[in-house]
Amino acid sequence: MPVLTEPASSFINGAWIESAGDITYRFNPAAPSEAVTAYRQAGSEDLAKAIQAATVAAPAWDRLGILARGRVLSTAAQMIRERAEEIARTMTAEHGKTLAESRLEVDASADTFDYHAGSARNPVGADYPSSHPDERIVTVRRPLGIVGVITPWNFPLQIPAWKIAPALLHGNTVVWKSASNTPGVSVLLMDILAKAGLPAGVANLLLGPGSLGSELVSHPKVAGVTFTGSVPVGHQIRALVCGRGAKLQMELGGHNATLVLPDADPELAASSAVNAAMGSTGQKCTATRRIILVGDGHEEFLTKLREKVAALSVGPGTDPSVQIGPVVSASARDEITSAIGQALSEGAQIIAQAAVPDSDGCYVPPTVLTGPASLTICHEEVFGPVVTVLRASTLDDAIALANSTDFGLTAAVFTSDERAVRKCVTYLDAGLVKVNAPSTGSELHAPFGGMKDSTFAGPREQNSAAAAAFFTHEKTAYLRLAPEKA
């Protein structure tokens, strides 16, 4: 069943516009013959119109003031909650994730808008002492101008919320190039933002191909770019954006390790590892890709891991009994299946696997492999429900093994040993380290970002102070009194 009955269009300068591009269809990954959404491809002319609209709208949006902008975000949060079921069902139809996961994402996205709305009342600068008695030194923040936002399909509402809400709060205007796989969710969010009170031109949505994203980040009027996606695309964006002196924020891929020490609680470690590796069909940058068993004595953990994976229910995300939905597309399914096949040819073994429906849906069996650390799959990110179990003799060896990839997004460690915890927090190459908890999941008020190829060296996402640092320029003003008149 289609979730949008008419082809969607891009949103520019306060109106849904008829792009000249072809109509592109999005199919249900649980039933690939079923078209669920369609949209008209935007092109270079549409991008130019969006940039112009954002340019014209910027001064008035800035002058409105941060408290008034915060109220718009608060209204948007309320409207997201009012339309939560509509958004969740659209998300499941386009993405494939279970309805339970979609509903959680919608709720978290509303919380994100509320959080940034509330941060409108945070201090906006600092006051420093001066060596001159009649002078104050203060910092003020000013918007960047136009922010280019490029978001992926795996969290089609939450990641845009992380980026768009603080960009708007701090007085920027936005041109958003959303993911081609989830146009319906993007349209619903843009509709909510418009109805929440955004003036025309303040936020603009482009539905189009990846090449349009390259044009967006290259545009000289785009003062900042925030991007989440793959490492290769991120490197291309870095060259384009940094080469012209604009600000850049990126969150890229991950190859995250979970370390299980001998004293770990087997039930907690196994359930958390399955959740982190297989949840959302493994289509998370923060998903666990490697489980590293430290030392001896992990038989109970492995038994529980096998049992939990084999018991996973895989099927359509609309089925309330299903725990794992399909992957996003047939091409994604084929890439993941090929990676598993390559691992087996390199000497890996399957030690646990769940059953999948006998259908043409884009299903990949949740799979646990074991083998040497030299396996290609232990170094290259495979974006699906696949995890490899490795072994290390000591904690130092485990940390070195965990750090032996180009990525550095998240890591997890399961132990009751406080010394081991401190060593892991200090020496694991990961921007987020979880202790006795899954490598996935984060709090929206805490800074989020990685290290190495998983990020770009700059202000993090989510946290309000980090968002302010990225989405504004900081200026310092020396306010000296004029001499008193006689």
Domain boundaries defined on the chain: 10-252+456-477, 256-435
Question: What number of other Cβ atoms are within 10 A of residue 419's Cβ?
Answer: 9
Q: Which CATH number fits domain 10-252+456-477: 3.40.605.10, 3.40.30.10, 3.40.980.10, 3.20.20.450?
A: 3.40.605.10
Q: Which of 115, 116, 284, 95 is nearest to 185 (CA)?
A: 95
Domain 256-435 has CATH 3.40.309.10: yes
How large is the average pLDDT for residues 47-60?
Answer: 98
Residue 458 is predicted with a pLDDT of 78
Q: Which of 155, 179, 168, 158 is nearest to 116 (CA)?
A: 168
Residue 20 is predicted with a pLDDT of 82
Residue 2 is predicted with a pLDDT of 62
Per-residue model confidence as pLDDT tens digits over 304-361: 999 999 999 999 999 999 999 999 999 999 999 999 999 999 999 999 999 999 999 9
Q: List residues with catalytic annotation.
A: 285
Per-residue model confidence as pLDDT tens digits over 198-247: 999 999 999 999 999 999 999 999 999 999 999 999 999 999 999 999 99
Q: From CA 258, how far away is CA 279, in angstroms rounded? A: 15
Residue 19 is predicted with a pLDDT of 84
Per-residue model confidence as pLDDT tens digits over 238-289: 999 999 999 999 999 999 999 999 999 999 999 999 999 999 999 999 999 9
Contact present, 240 and 214 (Cβ < 8 Å): yes
Residue 18 is predicted with a pLDDT of 83
Residue 5 is predicted with a pLDDT of 67
Per-residue model confidence as pLDDT tens digits over 112-131: 999 999 999 999 899 999 99
Both structure tokens of 24: 């592109």
Question: What number of other Cβ atoms are within 10 A of residue 163's Cβ?
Answer: 28
pLDDT, averaged across the chain = 96
- Which pTM does this prediction carry? 0.95
Per-residue model confidence as pLDDT tens digits over 67-90: 999 999 999 999 999 999 999 999
Distance of CA 360 to the CA centre of its chain: 28
